Amino acid sequence: MHVIFPFTGDGLGGSHVSAMTLIEGLLAQGDVSATIVAGETTQVADEVRRRGLPFFPSGEGPIRRRDVVRYVGGVLHRRRRLAALQSGTPAVVHYNDLEAAFAWQPAARLLGLRSVYHHRALPRMNAVKRSLLRTMDHTITISDVCRGNLGFLPDREVTVITNPIKVETDVLAATDRRQLHTEFGLPGDAAVFGFLGNLADRKRPDFFIDAAQEIAARMPNAVFVMFGRDREFSREQLEAQARALGIGDKVRVAGFRSPIEGNLALIDLLLAPAIDEPFGRTPVEAALCGIPYVVTDDAGQGEIVRRWGGGAAVPKLALPSEFADVAVRVMQSRDAFRLPQEKREGLRADVSPAAHAARVRAIYDAICAGPAARDAVA
């Protein structure tokens, strides 16, 4: 079986990382081939090459959201690209965002290819989006809240599968924390609060800075490090906000750094104030490493706390000062919130890339086998 993963954007986010982790799990099965299709000069392509995964250039630049002219105008070009990837074995096109589905699904339909949409977001589902998703052979979604976003699809056409998450604990253990302290200019006794995620509106990096001011007033040794690419917020904006609040010397906005283990090695407590989070990779990654977290109790992040533990949740409407109160309490009692080793192993099994790949592979097999097998997937 050959699975094709097209991407249309430039930036790299959690959905891309999850897709690449899935691909690694599929390739490990031995009888599945997979190819990522993307623009050759995109951040997605850079990460694919870093991971050594199969790559095929899309032959076009990034497509902006709702660019109908580009969606429609490139259908025949994309049909040729997909045809070039067919190898005589059953082929499935696996979409990881709506933009890729809008762009590539018409070409896949022209070739009669099976299609899977991986629902990793919480968009407003208008008539056009609903019509698109009804053309899919199956939809995978990553959390209960995401399943609720797809209420127009029957259960037989949707499967909830938690994101695959892999943390290289040996990389984490080998990372020299003291060297990182020196690199970031942090004192040896610093209590490091971390933010890991793109600097997007729903991640609320500005809320993180506001909460940091409150935390710093309570903990003089607190410092704050933010990892993530510019989105609606820029590095310069957040640094300016920190200076305006009088904590510019305590905040480091580090931009994007990989691998994730090197970032986790620096922090003592993860703060994830995001809202409308479909799932939330970083709290799970932190919990797997024995690093407690504080999250906003909303959408997928609330599900994580209740299902696995390893941290604390703050109500969605909490003020920065209230978020800070919980963050300080958890920082001062980290051992009480840290996920015990045996529960980490249970979490690791639940989000295992191998288990995830096996469940997704079963869906591929079913949709290629025919309607009866397809209806049995859910």
Q: d(Cα 22, Cα 354) in Å, to the nearest integer?
A: 8
**pLDDT by residue for the chain (378 residues), tens digit each?**
999 999 998 888 888 989 999 999 999 999 999 999 999 999 999 999 999 999 999 999 988 777 888 888 899 999 999 999 987 778 999 999 999 999 999 999 999 999 999 999 999 999 999 999 999 999 999 999 999 999 999 999 999 999 999 888 777 877 888 899 999 999 999 999 999 999 999 999 999 999 999 999 999 999 999 999 999 999 999 999 999 999 999 999 999 988 889 899 999 999 999 999 999 999 999 999 999 999 999 999 999 999 999 999 999 999 999 999 999 999 999 999 999 999 999 999 999 999 999 999 999 999 999 765 555 565
Identify the domain containing residue 220 by its residue range: 169-350
Both 226 and 146 in one domain: the answer is no
- What pLDDT shows up at residue 377? 60
Total residue count of the chain as it appears in this document: 378
Contacts of 358 (CB under 8 A, 6+ apart): 25, 29
Q: d(Cα 30, Cα 75) in Å, to the nearest integer?
A: 32
Q: Which two tokens stand for residue 306?
A: 């209740």
Burial of 165 (0-12, 13-18, 19+ CB in 10 A): buried
Torsion of CA 22, 310, 235, 60, to 10 degrees: 10
Both 98 and 221 in one domain: the answer is no
Q: d(Cα 39, Cα 44) in Å, to the nearest integer?
A: 8
Contacts of 121 (CB under 8 A, 6+ apart): 15, 97, 98, 146, 149, 278
Both 312 and 369 in one domain: the answer is no
Q: What share of the chain is helix, strand, coil (3-state, %, to 5)?
A: 50, 15, 35
CA angle, 109 as apex, 105 and 112 as ends, to 5°? 140
Both 122 and 232 in one domain: the answer is no
Both 120 and 225 in one domain: the answer is no
Rg (CA), the chain: 21
Both 219 and 102 in one domain: the answer is no
Both 75 and 182 in one domain: the answer is no
| CATH code: domain of residue 324 | 3.40.50.2000
Both 357 and 346 in one domain: the answer is no
Q: d(Cα 241, Cα 356) in Å, to the nearest integer?
A: 40
Q: d(Cα 278, Cα 299) in Å, to the nearest integer?
A: 6
In 3D space, the residue among 307, 310, 309 whose CA is nearest the CA of residue 291 turns out to be: 310
- What pLDDT shows up at residue 258? 82
Q: d(Cα 263, Cα 180) in Å, to the nearest integer?
A: 9
Both 342 and 361 in one domain: the answer is no
Both 160 and 176 in one domain: the answer is no
- What pLDDT shows up at residue 89? 79
Both 154 and 96 in one domain: the answer is yes
Both 240 and 273 in one domain: the answer is yes
CA angle, 295 as apex, 245 and 216 as ends, to 5°? 30
Number of folded domains that form the chain: 2
